[in-house]
């Protein structure tokens, strides 16, 4: 599948020694009639080839908005990127002209969405929607494009690909549809794949199949994967690193095993403690009190302080806590991270 | 499997950031309250309301607007220009165009109103029965709606109005009945789908389990929720009925003889348009403004109740 | 899904729709027939209107409409006439079929011209409005649609004739015996306004809704240009409701044609019907209305089937 890669127009300034993806101090706001919602307030992320980064957080914490900003498909208006940079192999995507930005999508960075039924166009066959990528980006004929579409369906293990290529999205089952989405995202052999809650809409058994297919394809292609999810179970299985987001900021970043063993932010800790566990059967489950903040009125200081058991007056005062280095490759945005991490480990 | 979402104590008030801005933590708002707030700020709604009030006043108290007698005509002033109270001049028969136009409002408004009441009643009963009882009743009524929809309204109206009218009278009631009987389908369909969606709501199921009877369920629980789209349809229909009445009258199967009506005036003025334009233009303008008023009103209400299109 | 299965689904849908169409056909013609003849003391006098009816004409008509038979038998005869192309004779003693044969080419030309004008204008402006909702173009378009909706054809046709034909003289005020495209342009535009407002609004609403859908986000994530996202993905989805609308609009167009052809003197179907109504020629009205009802039902059936081709989801109701 890499033979046609050469045809891609090379991005000017592409530096193969630079980091695969690096997001720095990204800021996004939504300007609505009732006020400005600050969805992303200085997010830093990085990703290497073959690596899986999980972005974890509640609805509205800004994880999907981050993904859309990286893809360049933020709805604008109301969404505006107000600061920061997104660098792909050294090229700042935010300063690229629209035409080049467009070619980055699908060719270099691709995305899988949560609900494949609504994410696929209902009135075109999956063959058309897959082949379209080759026709638009590679200038292939309809016939060649269809041949490639069949290969892709084979790749994601859809049985009888030759017949099914003419079917419409509603004729597939949920799991098969998500496979079509994966095929579509990987069609042009991107180096970065963003999967936004790829299994949330699926049955548990199908979820496992889709995740193992994704992991397999990622390994084959040495692709960087950003997995956006609120499902801690999925994360533990496949992720290398975790970034926990709260109110538009990354509050903790750590290798996956470290974070389960010794969370260094009260929010992460609370998330872990709220997972039902067999060894704690019969005990009261800890839940996080309160609600995520209204993004038009994010609390001063640490955004989590109204819900935090460790909070003291320093947490209520601006500026919000900076990143503290917990260990090599590990950061937490909490004044009291030593106390949090020093407590009884959440998972033994 | 465990979800972050499920472990926070309550759902976030608004899931995505854009909505979070809109939602806020203010007191809960009702759909009707929201709609009214929306309407208050909509200039189309106010413009339409003013027009409707004006037309209704004209229909009810034409004497307030003119002191002339619309039925007094004199060939000596055929197509004469404006003079005195007759600000629009005189028509082919030498009647005061302004007075006739003012007095013409009554027939249009009354026919539109009565026809819409009949149409609304038929649509309400058939739509509610189909939606509420479902099963074979629904299948049968839905087919019936399809069949009536399969008949082009004006064509059927031409036949029916001809059939009903007796050359002696003014043709008022035949037109009302014709329009009422032929235009109920949209209302019925809206009512049917509203009732079906209301029926599946939890609170209706709860009321049923508490032993509420058919009538109580229908009028206390289902109808209020189906009312908004139905009212919108009827408002729009009122405008359409006034337009259709004028068309039927223009064709000669609506109002007739000595009745004073915009349709008749347009129809009699059209052949003489080269000699005098005013007798054609003014009733046309009044007719269009009246239809416009009801359409704008219906539109504004619908937009207020359908937040998706905001 | 196998090809044979797919074909079978499609076939089942077609059969179901055709059967529904046949049911609607019989139901609708029965109602129209009943409206005309049921429970009358003297149906012939109604047919003839106020003119005196000589005994020989009365006898011919009684025979013609089988008025001595029970109602349902009358309807049977009427249907047989319709299906075999025998539509009867007008009170002026002309074959309705022949009148129809002379009239329909003109009306088809007029209606097609009107549909083309309506679709071109409404799809273009509906798309622009839907994309730039709330912008100046959208606001102006919405106000224009309001005005168009409020202008009944009885107002618009004579006024258009007055302004563009009589005063500005851009177009001929009347069309004449064998009108060409230029002569038909003004009446076709008048006719088009009848359906244009609704078509603009439906296109606009459907474009706006589709633009917000998830598959548009996917299409953008695929690196497609804005032109392709809108021109291929959004357009195809947005046109589905517009096309169904054109079928229903045909009823409005036929009704509008009666007034428009009457006002502009176009010798088409509507003009004959217009004259038939004014001269109280019952058999002519009955014959012409019956034919138009049939055309309306058949076209709507065709549109329904076309709908299934455009929207693959519909085959699996």
DSSP string, C233-273: IIHHHHHHHHHHHHHHHHHHHHHHHHHHHHHHT--SHHHHH
Sign of the CA dihedral B173, B178, B184, B186? Answer: negative
Please check whether residues A153 and A44 belong to one and the same domain: yes
* Residue among C1, C225, C240 whose CB faces A102 most closely: C225
For tokens 């200038």, the residue is A139
Q: Is A106 touching C (CB cutoff 8 A)?
A: yes
* A276: containing domain: 265-342
Q: Within a domain: residue A328? A: yes
Q: Within a domain: residue A245? A: no
Q: Within a domain: residue A278? A: yes
B162 Ramachandran zone, left/alpha/beta (phi>0; psi -120 to 50): alpha
pLDDT at residue B121 is higher than 90: yes
* Chains contacting B (3+ CB pairs below 8 angstroms): A, C
> Which run of H or of E encompasses B122?
helix B97-133
Q: Report CB contact under 8 Å: C251, B239.
A: no
What is the number of residues in chain C?
317
Would you state the structure tokens that stand for residue B290, as one six-digit string? Answer: 């009246």
Q: Within a domain: residue C32? A: no
Instruction: List chain B residues with CB under 8 Å of C264.
Output: none
The pLDDT value recorded for residue C82 is 78
Closest by Cα among C127, C146, C144, C129 to C235: C127
Q: Could you give the number of structural domains in chain A?
A: 2
* Residue among A59, A79, A289 whose CB faces B9 most closely: A289
> Angle at Cα C135 formed by Cα C131 and Cα C141, nearest 5°?
85
Contact at 8 Å (CB) between B235 and C124? Answer: no
pLDDT tier at A278, thresholds 50, 70, 90: low
Residue from A234, A292, A306, A308 to probe the interface with B (highest B Cβ count within 10 Å): A292
Would you state the structure tokens that stand for residue C197, as one six-digit string? Answer: 């407002």
What does pTM read for this prediction?
0.77
- Omega within 30 of 0 (cis) for the link into A78: yes
CATH among 3.40.50.10490, 1.25.60.10, 1.10.3720.10, 3.30.70.590 for B31-65+101-309: 1.10.3720.10
What is the number of residues in chain A?
348
Provide the shortest C-alpha distance from residue B37 to chain A (in Å): 15
> Which run of H or of E encompasses B121?
helix B97-133
DSSP state of A348: -
Q: Is B210 touching A (CB cutoff 8 A)?
A: no
pLDDT at residue B65 is higher than 80: no
DSSP state of A10: P
Mean pLDDT of all residues in A196-219: 85
Strand order in the sheet with A249-255: A109-112, A192-196, A224-229, A52-56, A241-246, A249-255, A330-332, A324-327
3-state helix, strand, coil in chain A (%, to 5): 40, 25, 40
> Angle at Cα A12 formed by Cα A10 and Cα A17, nearest 5°?
85
- Pick the residue from chain C with its C-alpha nearest to A108: C223
Sequential pLDDT tens for chain C (317 residues): 455 666 777 788 788 878 887 888 888 878 877 776 655 556 666 666 666 777 777 777 777 666 677 777 878 887 888 788 777 777 777 888 888 888 888 888 898 899 999 999 998 999 999 888 888 898 899 888 888 888 888 888 888 888 887 777 787 777 776 777 777 889 999 999 888 888 898 888 888 888 888 899 999 999 888 889 988 899 888 888 888 787 777 777 888 888 898 888 888 888 888 888 777 777 788 788 888 888 887 887 888 777 777 777 765 54
Q: For B195, phi and psi rounded to 5 degrees?
A: -65, -40
Q: Report CB contact under 8 Å: B7, A271.
A: yes
- Pick the residue from chain A with its C-alpha nearest to B4: A230
The pLDDT value recorded for residue A266 is 83
The pLDDT value recorded for residue A3 is 42
Provide the shortest C-alpha distance from residue B198 to chain C (in Å): 22
Integer Cα distance of C68 and C76 in angstroms: 13
* C202: containing domain: 100-310
Say what the alpha-carbon torsion angle C128, C131, C137, C138 is, to the nearest 10 degrees: 110
Q: Within a domain: residue A257? A: no
The pLDDT value recorded for residue C40 is 57
The pLDDT value recorded for residue B84 is 67
What is the number of residues in chain B?
310
* Residue among A30, A78, A291 whose CB faces B13 most closely: A291
Q: Is A237 touching B (CB cutoff 8 A)?
A: no
Closest by Cα among A136, B272, B207 to C222: A136
- Residues near B56 by beta carbon (within 8 Å), at least 6 away in sequence: B109
Instruction: List chain B residues with CB under 8 Å of A78.
Output: 18
The pLDDT value recorded for residue B153 is 79
Would you state the structure tokens that stand for residue B245, as one six-digit string? Answer: 């009445």
> Which run of H or of E encompasses C69?
none
- Residues near C222 by beta carbon (within 8 Å), at least 6 away in sequence: A105, A106, A132, A133, A136, A184
Q: What percent of chain B has pLDDT over 70?
A: 80
Q: For C253, phi and psi rounded to 5 degrees?
A: -65, -40
Pairing status of strand A21-32 against strand A249-255? unpaired
Closest by Cα among B111, B154, B42, B161 to B287: B111
Q: Within a domain: residue C316? A: no
Higher per-residue confidence, B63 vs C64? B63
Q: How does A313-345 read in b/e, with b if 16+ C-beta sit within 10 Å?
A: eebeeeebbebbebeeebbbbbbbbeebbeeee
Strand order in the sheet with A91-92: A35-47, A21-32, A79-88, A91-92
Residue from A28, A37, A82 to probe the interface with B (highest B Cβ count within 10 Å): A37
Instruction: List chain B residues with CB under 8 Å of A234.
Output: 1
The pLDDT value recorded for residue A194 is 92
Q: Is C316 touching A (CB cutoff 8 A)?
A: yes
Query: Radius of gyration over alpha carbons of chain B, in Å?
Result: 25
Mean pLDDT of all residues in B38-56: 85
Instruction: List chain B residues with CB under 8 Å of C162.
Output: 273, 277, 280-281
The pLDDT value recorded for residue C219 is 92
Mean pLDDT of all residues in B29-52: 79
Higher per-residue confidence, B195 vs C6? B195
Say how many CA atoms lie within 13 Å of A228 toward its Cβ: 23
Judge residue C160's burial from the number of C-beta atoms within 10 Å of its C-beta, 0-12 exposed, 13-18 middle, 19 or more buried.
buried
| SS3 state of residue C79 | helix
Kindly report the average pLDDT of chain B as a whole number.
Answer: 76
- Pick the residue from chain C with its C-alpha nearest to B268: C158
Provide the shortest C-alpha distance from residue A102 to chain C (in Å): 5
Q: Return the minimum-mean-pLDDT range out of A321-325, B72-76, C227-231.
A: B72-76
Q: Report CB contact under 8 Å: B246, C155.
A: yes
pLDDT at residue B266 is higher than 80: yes
Provide the shortest C-alpha distance from residue C289 to chain A (in Å): 38
Q: Return the minimum-mean-pLDDT range out of A233-247, A331-345, C274-288.
A: A331-345
Integer Cα distance of C14 and C302 in angstroms: 10
Mean pLDDT of all residues in A18-34: 86
pLDDT tier at B274, thresholds 50, 70, 90: confident
The pLDDT value recorded for residue C45 is 64
pLDDT at residue A115 is higher than 90: no
Q: Report CB contact under 8 Å: A123, C3.
A: no
C-alpha distance from residue B253 to each of C218, C221, C301 (Å): 56, 59, 30
Q: What percent of chain A has pLDDT over 90?
A: 7
3-state helix, strand, coil in chain B (%, to 5): 70, 5, 25
* Residue among C223, C228, C313 whose CB faces A170 most closely: C313
Q: Is A35 touching B (CB cutoff 8 A)?
A: yes
Kindly report the average pLDDT of chain A as a whole number.
Answer: 82
pLDDT tier at A13, thresholds 50, 70, 90: confident
Q: Report CB contact under 8 Å: B7, A30.
A: no
Contact at 8 Å (CB) between A109 and C222? Answer: no
pLDDT tier at B22, thresholds 50, 70, 90: very low
Mean pLDDT of all residues in A293-305: 80
Q: For A101, phi and psi rounded to 5 degrees?
A: -60, -40
Would you state the structure tokens that stand for residue C304, as one six-digit string? Answer: 């329904």
Provide the shortest C-alpha distance from residue B226 to chain A (in Å): 28
Q: Report CB contact under 8 Å: C31, B156.
A: yes
Task: Give residue-wise pLDDT tens across range A96-114.
Answer: 888 888 888 888 899 998 8
> Angle at Cα C287 formed by Cα C284 and Cα C289, nearest 5°?
100
DSSP state of C212: T
Q: Within a domain: residue A252? A: no
Q: Within a domain: residue C273? A: yes
List Cβ<8 Å contacts ≥24 apart for C132-141: C133/C204, C133/C208, C138/C204, C141/C200, C141/C204
Please check whether residues A225 and A270 belong to one and the same domain: no
The pLDDT value recorded for residue A294 is 79
pLDDT at residue A282 is higher than 70: no
Contact at 8 Å (CB) between A242 and A259? Answer: yes
Q: Is B67 touching A (CB cutoff 8 A)?
A: no
pLDDT at residue B118 is higher than 90: yes
Say what the alpha-carbon torsion angle C35, C39, C44, C45 is, to the nearest 10 degrees: -90
Contact at 8 Å (CB) between A25 and A44? Answer: yes
Please check whether residues A185 and A318 belong to one and the same domain: no
Would you state the structure tokens that stand for residue B270, as one six-digit string? Answer: 């059209």
Please check whether residues A51 and A116 belong to one and the same domain: yes
* Residue among B4, B10, B20 whose CB faces A37 most closely: B20
Q: Report CB contact under 8 Å: A30, B9.
A: no
Contact at 8 Å (CB) between A240 and A255? Answer: yes
* Residue among C154, C289, C296 whose CB faces B158 most closely: C289
Instruction: List chain B residues with CB under 8 Å of C263.
Output: 270
Higher per-residue confidence, A182 vs B66? A182
| SS3 state of residue C220 | helix
Closest by Cα among C230, C214, C217, C221 to A185: C221
pLDDT at residue A29 is higher than 80: yes
CATH number at residue C180: 1.10.3720.10
Cα separation of the two ends of chain A: 44
Instruction: List chain C residues with CB under 8 Å of A136.
Output: 222-225, 228
Instruction: List chain A residues with CB under 8 Å of C134.
Output: none
pLDDT tier at B24, thresholds 50, 70, 90: very low
Q: Could you give the number of structural domains in chain C?
A: 1
Please check whether residues A61 and A137 belong to one and the same domain: yes
Please check whether residues A35 and A146 belong to one and the same domain: yes
Please check whether residues A9 and A63 belong to one and the same domain: yes
Q: Is A183 touching C (CB cutoff 8 A)?
A: no
Higher per-residue confidence, B203 vs B46? B46
Contact at 8 Å (CB) between B238 and B294? Answer: yes
Contact at 8 Å (CB) between A117 and A200? Answer: no
DSSP A143-194: HHHHHHHHHHHHHTT-TTHHHHTT--GGGS-HHHHHHHHHHHHHTT--SEEE
Domain boundaries, chain B: 31-65+101-309
Q: Report CB contact under 8 Å: C218, A184.
A: yes
């Amino acid at each position: 599948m890499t033979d046609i890669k050469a045809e891609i127009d090379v991005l000017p300034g592409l530096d193969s020694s630079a980091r695969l993806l690096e997001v720095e101090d990204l800021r996004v706001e939504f300007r609505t009639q009732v006020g400005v919602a600050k969805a992303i307030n200085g997010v830093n992320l990085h990703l290497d080839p073959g690596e899986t980064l999980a972005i974890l957080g509640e609805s509205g914490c800004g994880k999907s908005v981050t993904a859309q900003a990286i893809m360049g498909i933020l709805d604008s208006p109301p969404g505006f990127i107000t600061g920061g940079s997104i660098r792909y192999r050294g090229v700042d995507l935010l300063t690229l002209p629209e035409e080049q930005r467009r070619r980055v999508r699908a060719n270099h960075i691709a995305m899988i969405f949560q609900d494949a039924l609504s994410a696929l166009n209902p009135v075109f066959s999956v063959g058309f929607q897959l082949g379209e990528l080759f026709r638009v980006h590679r200038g292939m004929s309809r016939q060649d494009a269809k041949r490639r579409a069949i290969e892709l369906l084979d790749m994601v293990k859809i049985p009888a690909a030759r017949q099914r290529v003419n079917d419409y999205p509603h004729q597939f089952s949920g799991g098969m549809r998500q496979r079509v989405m994966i095929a579509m995202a990987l069609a042009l052999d991107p180096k970065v794949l963003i999967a936004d809650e790829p299994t949330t809409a699926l049955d548990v058994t199908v979820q496992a199949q889709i995740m193992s297919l994704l992991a397999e394809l990622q390994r084959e292609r040495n692709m960087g994967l950003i997995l956006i999810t609120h499902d801690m179970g999925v994360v533990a299985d496949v992720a290398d690193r975790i970034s926990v987001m709260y109110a538009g900021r990354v509050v903790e970043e750590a290798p996956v095993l470290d974070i389960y063993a010794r969370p260094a932010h009260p929010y992460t800790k609370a998330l872990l403690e709220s997972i039902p566990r067999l060894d704690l059967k019969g005990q009261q489950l800890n839940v996080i009190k309160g609600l995520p903040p209204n993004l038009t009125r994010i609390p001063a200081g640490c955004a989590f302080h109204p819900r935090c058991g460790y909070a003291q007056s320093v947490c209520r005062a601006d500026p919000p806590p900076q990143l503290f280095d917990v260990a090599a490759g590990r950061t937490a945005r909490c004044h009291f991270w030593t106390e949090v991490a020093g407590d009884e480990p959440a998972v033994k | 499997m465990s979800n972050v979402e499920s472990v926070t104590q309550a759902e976030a008030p608004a899931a995505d950031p854009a909505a979070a801005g809109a939602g806020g933590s203010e007191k809960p708002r009702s759909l009707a309250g929201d709609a009214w707030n929306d309407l208050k700020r909509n200039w189309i709604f106010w413009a339409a309301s003013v027009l409707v009030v004006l037309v209704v006043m004209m229909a009810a108290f034409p004497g307030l607007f003119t002191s002339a007698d619309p039925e007094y005509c004199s060939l000596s002033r055929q197509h004469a220009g404006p003079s005195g109270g007759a600000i629009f001049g005189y028509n082919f028969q030498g009647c005061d165009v302004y007075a006739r136009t003012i007095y013409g409002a009554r027939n249009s408004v009354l026919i539109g109103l009565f026809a819409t009441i009949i149409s609304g009643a038929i649509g309400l009963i058939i739509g509610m029965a189909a939606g509420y009882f479902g099963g074979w009743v629904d299948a049968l009524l839905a087919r019936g709606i399809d069949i009536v929809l399969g008949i082009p309204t004006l064509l059927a109206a031409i036949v029916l109005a001809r059939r009903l009218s007796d050359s002696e009278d003014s043709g008022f009631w035949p037109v009302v009945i014709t329009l009422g009987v032929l235009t109920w389908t949209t209302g019925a369909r809206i009512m049917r789908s509203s009732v079906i969606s209301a029926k599946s709501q939890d609170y209706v199921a709860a009321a049923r389990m508490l032993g509420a009877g058919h009538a109580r369920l229908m009028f206390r629980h289902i109808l209020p929720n189906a009312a908004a789209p139905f009212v919108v349809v009827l408002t729009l229909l009122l405008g359409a009925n006034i337009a259709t009445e004028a068309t039927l009258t223009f064709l000669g199967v609506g109002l007739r003889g000595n009745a004073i009506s915009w349709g008749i005036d347009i129809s009699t003025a059209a052949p003489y348009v080269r000699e005098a334009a005013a007798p054609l233009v003014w009733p046309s303008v009044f007719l269009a403004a009246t239809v416009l008023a009801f359409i704008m009103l219906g539109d504004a209400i619908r937009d207020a109740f359908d937040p998706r299109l905001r | 899904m196998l090809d044979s299965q797919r074909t079978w689904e499609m076939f089942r849908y077609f059969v179901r729709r055709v059967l529904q169409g046949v049911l609607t056909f019989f139901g609708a013609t029965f109602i129209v027939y009943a409206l005309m003849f049921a429970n009358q003391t003297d149906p012939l006098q109604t047919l003839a209107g106020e003119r005196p009816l000589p005994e020989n004409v009365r006898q011919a008509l009684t025979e013609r409409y089988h008025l001595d038979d029970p109602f349902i038998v009358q309807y049977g005869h009427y249907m047989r006439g319709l299906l075999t192309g025998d539509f009867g004779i007008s009170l002026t003693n002309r074959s309705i079929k022949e009148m129809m044969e002379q009239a329909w080419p003109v009306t088809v030309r007029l209606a097609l011209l009107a549909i083309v004008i309506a679709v071109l204008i409404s799809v273009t402006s509906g798309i622009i409005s839907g994309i730039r909702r709330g912008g100046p173009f959208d606001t102006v378009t919405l106000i224009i649609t309001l005005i168009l909706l409020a202008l009944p054809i009885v107002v618009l046709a004579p006024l258009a004739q007055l302004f563009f034909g009589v005063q500005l003289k851009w177009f001929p005020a009347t069309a004449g015996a064998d009108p060409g495209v230029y002569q038909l342009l003004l009446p076709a535009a008048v006719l088009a306004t009848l359906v244009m407002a609704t078509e603009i609004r439906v296109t606009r609403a459907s474009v706006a809704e589709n633009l917000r859908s998830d598959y548009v986000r996917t299409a953008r994530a695929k690196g497609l240009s804005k032109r392709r996202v809108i021109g291929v993905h959004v357009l195809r989805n947005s046109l589905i409701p517009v096309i169904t609308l054109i079928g229903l609009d045909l009823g409005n167009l036929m009704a509008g044609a009666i007034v428009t052809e009457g006002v502009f003197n176009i010798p088409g179907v509507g003009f004959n019907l217009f004259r038939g109504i004014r001269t109280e020629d019952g058999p002519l009205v009955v014959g012409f209305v019956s034919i138009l009802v049939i055309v309306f039902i058949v076209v709507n059936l065709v549109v329904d089937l076309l709908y299934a081709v455009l929207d693959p989801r519909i085959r699996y109701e």
